[in-house]
Amino acid sequence: MSALQLPSSLAQSPTAISRRRAIGRMAGLAGAAAAPLVLPARVFGETAPSKQITLGFVGLGNEGYGHNLKAFLVENDARAIAVCDVFAGRRARARETVDQQYAATGCQEIADFRDLIARKDIDAVVISTPDHWHVPISLLALAAGKDVFCEKPTLTIAEGRKLADAVARHKAVFQTGIEDRSVIYYYRMAELVRNGAIGRLQTIHVKLPAGSAFPLEKPAAVPADLNWELWLGPAPFHPFTPTRTEAMHWRQVRDYSGGLLTDWGSHLMDTAQVGNFAEQSGPVEVEGAGEIPANSMATTFVTFKLHYRYANGVEMFVESGGVALRFDGTDGWIGNNGWLGRLEGTSTELLRRKYPRAGNKIWPMPPNEQRNFLDCVKSRQPTTYTAEADQRLSTAMHIGNIAMQLGRKLKWDPASESFPGDDAANALRSRPARDDWMKK
């Protein structure tokens, strides 16, 4: 099969592509096709304060402020009572937004997330920081008895396992901040594949955006409103540089992230694994190659080409250079081009197939991840994206990065989460963390 091609209208840099904005524009269309109109609970009346879930927010950049905070603010059974960021300006903006939404004062600005976690009146913590902070802050929140909503992905395989085990040990509710299982296009694709619409699944093709070779920068003075040491936290010390804290920059620095593979891969590769019934296991083999640009701020692979194999014989090909997903089976194919691209397949009849709830091989499509989290905090049921699901997804991406780093094919055992008999690869499942930041 020829490689999937991204339409020219969508062939742009990752900074020009906004999954969240696209979902916002198309929510009406998708909702009309998938479910009755759902309005925020506050439309129907107020909820007694004693029944509201109190939330503290850590990380208030584009995702934390523009998506997570605003999504939770419209839910009547939730109450934002504290906001925290290493940038003072972001804290102030978030606090003002909360107070305007509630037409009241009382939301507290907090400079250090540890002080937010220590508050006894916070039920759950919403974490939207750079990737290297996801697990450390989550673990502290869990230890303090909080439920946790945390953005994807993990930074290492070992950290992700520690997080999943901690969630189980504390009997906490944990939601990973990924929307795909609540997006009709990707849910529907997985439903058709799992229910046999294309016959026996054979191959999956995934395209993800390529990264950028951002130029190196000289150290600069730390902005007056930024706690740089706390931004770095457990990551190796590095002098502040002007664009290092911008999302599309830090996401391509290995100290803080796994690159575009773990960023965009968290979306399309999850749907790929769900369609393959592999969301609770993962691949058994991976090989690939990629490019890390010289003399660039980027220290992750900005281009990559990976080949995964699963225990059931299904092969998955992941390649940089677009946004696309396609499943091929013995009786046909299904896929789409572009984020939220319309579904395409062997036939219109295939795309229109319906499966009754009884006997359907996929769970019902849940509401968006924020609403689902609140429902599960109250019911104590598992969320759309549990910590265990995040671990399995993140691990598939991490082993791809490790295979490219070592430059050879790797065997992977999903049960033990190890590379059998491969000391060099196993050593890369974790990274040392800097601990002296806590003393500063």
Do the bridges between strand 303-309 and strand 147-151 make them parallel or antiparallel, or are there none, so unpaired? unpaired
- Separation in Å, CA 21 to CA 44, 65, 183: 27, 14, 13
Q: How far apart, in whole angstroms, are the C-alpha atoms of residue 187 and residue 185?
A: 6
DSSP for 311-346?
TTS-EEEEEESS-EEEEEETTEEEEEESTTPPPEES
pLDDT at 32 > cutoff 90: no
Phi, psi at residue 219, to the nearest 5°? -55, 145
How confident is the model at residue 359, as a pLDDT?
A: 95
Q: How far apart, in whole angstroms, are the C-alpha atoms of residue 285 and residue 315?
A: 10
Q: Is the peptide bond before 49 cis (omega within 30 degrees of 0)?
A: no
| Residue whose entry in the numeric block shows the structure tokens 């742009």 | 12
Higher-pLDDT residue of 164, 32: 164
What percent of the chain is modeled with pLDDT above 70?
88
On whether the CB atoms of residues 273 and 189 are closer than 8 A, the answer is no
Q: How far apart, in whole angstroms, are the C-alpha atoms of residue 43 and residue 262?
A: 37
Q: Which fold has domain 183-364+388-439?
A: Dihydrodipicolinate Reductase; domain 2 (3.30.360)
- Ranges of each domain in the chain: 8-180, 183-364+388-439
Model confidence over 347-391: pLDDT tens digits? 999 999 999 999 999 999 999 999 999 999 999 999 999 999 999
pTM score of the predicted model:
0.89
Per the prediction, the chain carries an average pLDDT of: 90
**In terms of CATH, what superfamily is 8-180?**
NAD(P)-binding Rossmann-like Domain (3.40.50.720)
DSSP for 359-395?
T-SSPPPP--HHHHHHHHHHH----SS-HHHHHHHHH
How confident is the model at residue 48, as a pLDDT?
A: 62
Model confidence over 245-268: pLDDT tens digits? 999 999 999 999 999 999 999 999
Model confidence over 113-140: pLDDT tens digits? 999 999 999 999 999 999 999 999 999 9
Q: How far apart, in whole angstroms, are the C-alpha atoms of residue 297 and residue 243?
A: 10
What letter would DSSP give residue 8? G
Higher-pLDDT residue of 33, 164: 164
On whether the CB atoms of residues 323 and 338 are closer than 8 A, the answer is yes
On whether the CB atoms of residues 207 and 6 are closer than 8 A, the answer is yes
What percent of the chain is modeled with pLDDT above 90?
87
How confident is the model at residue 21, as a pLDDT?
A: 46
pLDDT at 41 > cutoff 50: no
Q: Which of 25, 4, 61, 1 is nearest to 318 (CA)?
A: 4
Q: How many CA atoms lie within 13 A of 316 on its CB side?
A: 29
Q: What is the maximum alpha-carbon separation in the chain?
A: 63
Q: How far apart, in whole angstroms, are the C-alpha atoms of residue 427 and residue 149?
A: 29
